[in-house]
Amino acid sequence: MPRMTMSAGPHIARAILCASLLIGCVSSPPVRYHTLTTPGAADVAGDDSASPQVLVQILPVAVPEGVARDGIVLKDPGGQVTVLQTDRWLAPVADDLKQVVADGLWQSVRATDTYDAPVPGGATALPRYRLSLRVERFDAIPGQAAAVAGAWTLRSLSDDSAHVCRWAGSQPLEGADGAAAAAALGRASHRLAARIGESLRRAVSGAADVCGPVSPASAPIEGSAR
């Protein structure tokens, strides 16, 4: 009867370990990627080749440290955080939000982002602004809502006048999965972008109340953690 040599044991053990790892990889759930942006959002309001009417330097968006990660973050009503491993953002949340805002400004007032290519004041007669946005809340609470809040400063580069505005709102979130959370956060983010666009439209038109009235419906939901 053949005997197993001492040197064969480690080889067999390594083979079993490799096979186990391969089986684990095959059985791992697939990773799903999500985005806040809507395909074609920039040209919903008309021809994408239309000339800009306003120039805006959209500075990098500041987001809470807790959501600046790949995995979608869920919170329970008590503030307990769960980071999903198989539902991830396609791009960093800050970059995605900046694109949502840029698309919204194009739709509302034909404003184009000049952050990567600033235009000198003497080179154009178009109104020029600088926008800085700080997102204060970006919470997905299954069974309750997705809550988004942000404060922004809109500064005219022509006369250095500045307006500081804030908006907070929520979207129903009944599902407990990453897709539902991403969709609700996306809808709330687009509402924030629309409010920013409205403030820019008011500023360009010379309105006295640039930020506009705060609607009771835009108040953040109660009992959710920051």
Q: Which residue has the tokens 């602004």?
A: 129
**pLDDT score for 22:** 54
- The pLDDT confidence band at residue 212, using thresholds 50, 70 and 90, is confident
Give the best-scoring range by mean pLDDT among 3-17, 65-79, 90-104.
Answer: 90-104
Q: What is the pLDDT of residues 54-79, one digit of tens each?
A: 999 999 999 999 999 999 999 998 88
Give residue limits of the domains in the chain.
33-218
**pLDDT score for 17:** 57
Lowest mean per-residue pLDDT among 40-44, 55-59, 169-173, 195-199: 40-44
Give the integer Cα–Cα distance in Å for 89 and 99. 14
pLDDT higher than 60, residue 105: yes
Give the integer Cα–Cα distance in Å for 60 and 115. 9
Q: Going along the chain, which residue ranges are E strands?
A: 32-34, 54-58, 71-75, 81-89, 111-113, 128-141, 144-156, 162-173
Token pair belonging to 131: 């926008």
Q: With a threshold of 0.75, does the pTM exceed it?
A: yes
Fold of 33-218: Rossmann fold (3.40.50)
